[in-house]
């Protein structure tokens, strides 16, 4: 171990020892019987991921994973604020906390479709999408590796009594290159590769902020690239409901117990996919009931609005007109009909324009309530 000296803002000097990470590009892991079973069960369950013919279900899963990943970092707002942040215009009042979750969503979408294997430049791009405009980061800290020592837990003034001290800043770039070589391999079970890569990213902690969220994007990138699944597996949902277990098992990896971490993470996959099936059923059932309630059929504007509600739960006449390339009058008539049929209800946008007038929006209350509920299922 190499010892470093830290002098904090209070003038106190003391020695500390950052984690000295060894390369993992050629890592081979021998797992216990229990962990081998968990890997096999997770791999089997990944084969049952819903095909998601309804694109809107995939949108729900993207929102769920990005919201849950943010909750792990104590960044949380209700779904209405998130949905409003998605559709807010430049002339409307901003919601910085909700926009941080939208940044997570944008990074996740990019990570999921980034060609496998991702490169360090891809990690930097995901970080930019996540952190752009963050109020507590300087521009040079976004999409850039840290240039100073960081730590987790303990004293806010320095690494004394920290729960974990990541590698020194000069080691970050070569460790990230080594991680990229590990994630490019195809001789490792995708489940093992995804979760070792995530835990390793957490060990390196390459950014000033946003490490956990970018590291969880890396999981989705590997599973997508190796298995061609149609949407993110929202593993952050069970983790957000059991954050202490997630963190404790990450600490086990940092302390050298890879087996314990892999077993925990693999079983989280099983939980997440069971959750996916439940969400698919509940959302599909709700949309079917709304279609039955509506007088609109076929490929009418109103019928298309209903089918697209999981993707676009909060709408107004302007967005409907633009989305389906119809006149404003046709869009207004479709929303009026859906309102009369009890499919949509009119609601005020909580944001206001600079002129002080909020937009009138339409939404289905049952769907909004379902989106609120499913994160904590």
* Domains identified in the chain and CATH numbers: 55-277 (1.10.3290.10), 294-374 (1.10.10.10)
Query: Does the pLDDT value for residue 349 go beyond 80?
Result: no
Is residue 200 a contact partner of residue 113, using CB atoms and an 8 Å limit? no
The sign of the torsion formed by the CA atoms of 90, 216, 370, 300 equals positive
Peptide bond into 186 cis (omega under 30): no
347 CB contacts (<8 Å, ≥6 apart)?
Answer: 360, 361, 362, 363
Distance (Å, whole) CA 103 – CA 130: 4
Task: Quote the pLDDT of residue 55.
Answer: 66
Alpha helices in the chain (DSSP H): 33-46, 55-72, 79-87, 96-113, 120-131, 172-183, 190-204, 211-227, 236-241, 243-254, 258-293, 301-307, 317-324, 328-340, 365-374
Mean pLDDT of 104-125: 98
Please write the tens of the pLDDT for every residue from 121-153: 999 999 999 999 898 899 999 999 999 999 999
Task: Quote the pLDDT of residue 89.
Answer: 81
How many CB atoms within 10 Å of residue 154? Answer: 14
Distance (Å, whole) CA 38 – CA 189: 12
Task: Quote the pLDDT of residue 79.
Answer: 83
Mean pLDDT of 295-308: 93
Query: Does the pLDDT value for residue 354 go beyond 80?
Result: no
Over the chain, what is the mean pLDDT? 93
Please write the tens of the pLDDT for every residue from 207-221: 999 999 999 999 999
Helix 190-204 vs helix 211-227: crossing angle, to nearest 10: 160
Task: Quote the pLDDT of residue 377.
Answer: 58
Distance (Å, whole) CA 28 – CA 124: 27
Q: What is the pTM of this model?
A: 0.94
Query: Does the pLDDT value for residue 108 go beyond 70?
Result: yes
Query: Does the pLDDT value for residue 355 go beyond 80?
Result: no
Mean pLDDT of 305-309: 95
Is residue 294 helix, strand or coil? coil
Task: Quote the pLDDT of residue 360.
Answer: 83
Is residue 328 a contact partner of residue 338, using CB atoms and an 8 Å limit? no
92 CB contacts (<8 Å, ≥6 apart)?
Answer: 349, 351, 352, 353, 359
Query: Does the pLDDT value for residue 327 go beyond 90?
Result: yes
Distance (Å, whole) CA 152 – CA 130: 20
Task: Quote the pLDDT of residue 155.
Answer: 87
Mean pLDDT of 11-17: 93
Q: What whole-number percentage of the chain has pLDDT above 90?
A: 80
Task: Quote the pLDDT of residue 347.
Answer: 80
Is residue 127 a contact partner of residue 142, using CB atoms and an 8 Å limit? yes
């Amino acid at each position: 171990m190499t010892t470093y000296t830290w002098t904090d803002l209070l003038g106190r000097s003391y020695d500390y020892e950052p984690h000295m990470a060894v390369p993992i590009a050629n890592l081979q892991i021998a797992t216990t019987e229990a962990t081998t079973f968990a890997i096999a069960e997770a791999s089997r369950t990944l084969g049952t991921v819903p095909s998601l013919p309804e694109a809107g279900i995939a949108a729900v899963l993207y929102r769920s994973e990005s919201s849950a990943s943010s909750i792990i970092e104590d960044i949380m707002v209700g779904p209405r604020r998130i949905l409003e942040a998605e559709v807010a215009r430049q002339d409307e009042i901003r919601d910085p906390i909700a926009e941080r979750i939208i940044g997570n969503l944008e990074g996740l979408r990019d990570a999921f479709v980034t060609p496998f294997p991702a490169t360090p430049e891809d990690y930097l791009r995901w970080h930019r999408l996540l952190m752009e405009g963050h109020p507590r980061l300087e521009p040079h800290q976004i999409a850039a590796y840290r240039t100073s020592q960081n730590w987790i837990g303990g004293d806010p003034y320095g690494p004394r009594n920290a729960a974990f001290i990541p590698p020194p800043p000069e080691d970050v770039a070569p460790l990230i290159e080594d991680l990229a070589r590990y994630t490019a391999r195809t001789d490792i079970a995708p489940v093992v590769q995804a979760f070792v890569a995530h835990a390793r990213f957490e060990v390196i902690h390459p950014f000033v902020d946003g490490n956990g969220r970018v590291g969880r994007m890396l999981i989705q990138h590997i599973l997508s690239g190796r298995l061609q699944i149609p949407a993110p597996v929202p593993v952050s949902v069970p983790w957000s409901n059991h954050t202490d277990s997630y963190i404790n098992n990450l600490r086990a990896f940092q302390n050298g117990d890879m087996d314990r971490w892999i077993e925990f993470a693999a079983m989280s996959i099983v939980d997440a996919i069971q959750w996916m099936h439940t969400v698919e059923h509940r959302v599909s059932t709700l949309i079917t009931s709304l279609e039955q309630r509506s007088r609109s059929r076929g490929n009418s504007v109103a019928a298309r609005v209903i089918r697209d509600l999981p993707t676009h739960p909060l709408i107004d006449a302007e967005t409907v007109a633009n989305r389906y390339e119809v006149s404003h009058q046709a869009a207004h008539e479709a929303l009026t009909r859906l309102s009369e049929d009890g499919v949509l209800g009119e609601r005020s946008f909580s944001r206001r324009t600079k002129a002080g007038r909020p937009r009138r929006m339409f939404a289905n209350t049952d769907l909004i309530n379902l989106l609120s509920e499913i994160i904590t299922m």
